[in-house]
Structure 1
């Protein structure tokens, strides 16, 4: 199927995010906009109700003296109030600065200080305490608006309701203020500062303009991926560009969103909400895959045999379908039976109505994507980065090429530059890094293309395949190049108990690995294998677990070139966490930090 190059939507795009939102309120006023947990049930609000609340909060920000492009921070997990705050900042002409709730006090102070935030929306007591502890480092910060009730002191810290009441007074004097401000915001006005949590050094503030977010939403709408009849379940961190771009897409398309950022509630919420789509990082799909596989293995017997045969048949049917070949009648009949016995139950775990998932922020293993596809659950892998407002390419339900990240958004360009680097151009590209002119210059080629740092290739139809991070590629002392992400992804598809698999060996004579196990998955294994009360550390140190993981490593090595094979490996006695500094808030491994923390262990492999 040819790529959709229709760019007619570019001429009709709203001027800015504020107008995009206000237009949506006008078009969909009485329709559901959001639903969110309230106690044990879910509360729903219409676009009109959201519009009224946002208008009051935006006026409240203007009453506090906020001016165009001045920064307002949001330090909170994903929840309905985060959306209200962000939309209010947009409609007040300000620029949102996002902070993960897990970010430490020092980095929070750096981000809010570097961006010169005048106001900060804070989720709860923990976020307010961080701000109080670093108040001296935040001279520009005049007010904190808190989401949780009972924390306001009405001097430095005020509630959302207080801000809305201030807005009422402002609107009394300036009744058309918000509409006037929205109409005056230019496409190239700063909308968002998202600080990327690099693996080394201080985070860099990515300057994203109104045109970038508006374009992203409108480009997804133009591709026909989503309509106002869809229902999204949104749990992704809104401090991350992936979460933010899904909000822009909602404003463009008009669908409703159920929002709850509690990661431990994702599976339960899917069963209740029954969404038609959801965005997620690959780790969520890896965990779901591992959970279903290990539960079936634990049951054993006939159920396990039926399950394995079902996926053997499903994978074959899926392969023939994607190759455009006819499915033999006996295979078709078997598939119909297994769909009722196995695949429908897998789909029901995700609510039973999912049209597709969208995977982004890291590489999705092709085998895991094919496994879900065999069960009738489509995962559309996309690609992008904070520096291009999240979305650069995406697959399509009617031409989902597993192993690729899809084709470029209409109105954008992708090319392969020097050294195989993926480079991007289009309306979605950042304006640069905040207060870092040298870093901004380094991020672009001389002819103005964004350098992604990713290595990739384009096929004859323009579909992009990412083959690794250029900086992560290393060469052994024997002169062979190794791409760690490719090896690591293979192991995650083979072993249902793994959390992280990290490959090392730069300038060494062979490749080694550090492995962490998923605490939930391995606890389930321990329950079935006579270690019900053992700690994580005791489990990973047991000979039985070491032997099991060794078998998986041997299986992996059977799929690798001789020079890629893992000669030595070790299980770490802890999983990687954000708190330990070994994962970024978007769950990417800080490879350099892990290598430094375990340098003696890695050196011992070569002793």
Structure 2
């Protein structure tokens, strides 16, 4: 890996010099068929698309928007832009046209690349309000309308291939890429915060390259590992991981969709995946719920196996008798569970939000190591991570290389590194509020170091609840604990200036409906279900079992189950599945107040 590179693209290009043009570096799905893409094919598409953009008048430091699900064209557009210093601005496809309009006006985007007809129509609905937009480019074919400056990405690439000498273009691009400065902005990532308008995080080539080196230093991956990508590429975490694989070696496969993840895992059989905790919670629940269809003797055997394996998670010397039992259990039980995730997984990297230690222990018990990490968009993003040689359950691991972390007097986590952002786009005040004069970035998270040097996140400064009795309570750990209930998908806890804590529950309606049918509880709609005393008593009883280790003042005393699931579409969740507490508070104000009257 070239530590003296000036950009992501040149690092990637240098890494490819050792590979033949026919060697596969990527795989993607097209109509359910897994298609490999060689180094030569990918580079050619990148170089030709770059030429198409420059022919449209786009130059270094111009902004180009990308609205797309995960697909090969996203990576082509990404590399084609950053190769010569064009700043790409990827956004979540789930954003509304109004949200897209705000972002692309804020960054003065001249071109927006969209994936399909839905995203095209969304942009067309606000096109007259996009002040600097000149062209729209579509990844899907059949949407081109040149008279309205709408171009097909494939047609643009094919036109360049037909009308230019490829070797000359390649030589020109390599020369142009050398003029990119390591401190130039690589990408603008707009944080979909839980309050206010999103802010554009300016990440430079140095920021992201520093993080690539840090990820490589963890030892989680080697030069031949296969990676299955399904978290959003528009988020910096997945993109930085993909860059790490492209630069250090290994094949990246783009999953078909989150809905197809199970079949993709079994077809690709990757060595490494990145996940969010919610997915791990769901997988654990499905594995255990499937036991309900087995005989009582088989269920007992599985639970005995899990109990014994869990007992020795952090133990080096295991008695021979139990070691032999675990070998048998692994062959008969745990290996079958691992096969559901492809059967070859070496490491699962979890980030984005807190992972419940009990979920982590479950996966460790069946032979799958979860490497929990911590990061922020503003830090490119990885700050700390558990590693194969340094793994402490319940923590987010020690700081990665090239990153300094300290805890200030208030308990806030501060980060200093070359991976910390250049600042917020067009918002010097916001930048100065979070990066101090000594270059420490103030994360807004509260944490502590364990005796082994691992970082433990304990809450968010802004989310601290102060009760009427003066107790300071961080709701996040309590929400994580209670969310382990199989009846609960999301929980939002309240209690500011109140005598006790209350919670709004977005439930697992599928499970509640099956229980209602089983217990002859009459219902015709979700509304009937959430009003049922039997259902509320069931959920509250389970919550009490999950929070019984908490201090009395930390326990949720009353709940309201909402009839409509929290979602991105209805506004309660961000695209990263974080809760927008202020939105929930306003939307369910009367329900919350009702729990205190």
TM-score by length of structure 1 reads 0.94
Distance (whole Å) between structure 2 residues aligned to residue 502 and residue 387 of structure 1 = 25
Aligned counterpart, 1:397: 388
CA contact (8 A) 1:13 1:214 kept: no
- 1:190-216 deviations in Å (ceiling 9; x for gaps): 110000011111110000001111121
Matched with 1:379 is: 370
Structure 1 position 79 matched with structure 2 position 85: no
Label 1:304 to 1:378 Cα distance change in 2 as closer, same or farther (>3 A): same
Cα gap change, 1:268 to 1:543, in 2 (>3 Å)? farther
Cα pair distance change 1:526/1:200, threshold 3 Å = same
Task: Return the match for 2:154 from 136, 148, 161.
Answer: 161
* Pairwise CA distance, 1:522: 4.3
In structure 2, how many angstroms separate the alpha carbons of the residues matched to 1:525 and 1:334?
36
Q: Quick one: distance in 2 between partners of 1:522 and 1:13?
A: 57
Residue equivalent to 2:261: 266
Worse-matched range after superposition: 375-384 or 517-526: 517-526
Choose from 40, 48, 52 the match for 1:56: 48
1:597 corresponds, among 566, 572, 587, to 587
> Which of 483, 501, 516 lines up with 1:511 in the alignment?
501
Rounded Cα–Cα distance in structure 2 between residues aligned with 1:476 and 1:416: 25
Change (3 A) 1:500 1:70: same
For 1:132, the equivalent position in structure 2 comes to 124
Listed one character per residue, the Cα deviations across residues 17-37 of structure 1 (whole Å, up to 9, x for unaligned) are 110221233223333211111
The aligned counterpart of 1:192 is 187
Query: Following the alignment from structure 1 to structure 2, what is the Cα–Cα distance between the partners of residues 521 and 272?
Result: 29
- Report matched runs for 1:91-106 at 5 Å: 91-106=83-98
| 1:112-127 matched pairs, under 5 angstroms | 112-127=104-119
Q: CA deviation at 1:527?
A: 6.8
Q: 1:3 maps to what in 2?
A: none
Secondary structure at the aligned position of 1:393 is classed as: strand
**Is 1:22 aligned to 2:13, yes or no?**
yes
Residues 527, 280 of structure 1: alpha-carbon distance in 2 compared, 3 angstrom cutoff: farther
The 1:276/1:531 distance shift into structure 2, 3 A limit, reads farther
Aligned residues of 1:209 and 1:430 also touching (Cα < 8 A):
yes
Q: Matches of residues 124-523 of structure 1 in structure 2 within 5 Å?
A: 124-155=116-147, 156-168=149-161, 169=163, 176-260=171-255, 262-299=257-294, 301-319=296-314, 321=315, 324=316, 326-493=317-484, 495-522=485-512
In structure 2, C-alpha distance between the alignment counterparts of 1:529 and 1:141, rounded to whole Å = 58
Q: Output the CA distance in 2 between the equivalents of 1:177 and 1:234.
A: 31
Moved more, 502-511 or 221-230: 221-230
CA offset at residue 531 of structure 1? 7.8
Q: 1:50 to 1:134 in 2, by over 3 A?
A: same
CA distance change for structure 1 residues 512 and 438 in 2, over 3 Å: closer, same or farther?
A: same
User: In structure 2, what is the Cα distance between the partners aligned to 1:22 and 1:438?
Assistant: 37
Q: Which moved more, 1:132-141 or 1:297-306?
A: 297-306
Distance 1:601 1:206 in 2: 36
What is the Cα deviation at residue 469 of structure 1? 0.8
Contact kept, 8 Å, 1:63 with 1:170, in 2: the verdict is no
Gaps of 5+ in 1: 1-8
The CA deviation string for residues 399-454 of structure 1, in whole angstroms up to 9 with x for no partner, is 21111111112122111123111011111110110011111110112321111000
Q: Distance in 1 between matches of 2:47 and 2:375?
A: 32
Provide the rounded CA distance (Å) in 2 between the counterparts of 1:147 and 1:382.
33
Equivalent-residue separation in structure 1 for 2:99 and 2:580 (angstroms): 16
Aligned partners of 1:234, 1:520: CA distance in 2, in Å?
A: 28
Residue 547 (1) aligns with residue 540 (2): no
Alignment gaps of 5+ in structure 2: none
Query: Contact conserved, 1:13 with 1:215, CA < 8 A, in 2?
Result: no
Q: How many residues align?
A: 593
Contact 1:25 1:51 in 2 (8 A): no
How far the C-alpha of 1:184 sits from its partner, in A, is 1.0
Q: 1:224 to 1:343 in 2, by over 3 A?
A: same
User: Which whole-Å deviations, capped at 9, do the CAs of 1:98-156 have from their partners, x for residues lacking one?
Assistant: 11111000010111111111111100111111111111221311111101111111241
Say if 1:463 and 1:534 are closer, same or farther in 2 by CA, change over 3 A.
Answer: same
Q: Distance in 2 between matches of 1:531 and 1:254?
A: 56
Residue aligned with 2:113, SS: strand
CA 1:558–1:509 in 2, change beyond 3 Å: closer, same or farther?
Answer: same
SS in 2 for 1:194: strand
Deviation at 1:218, TM superposition (A): 2.0
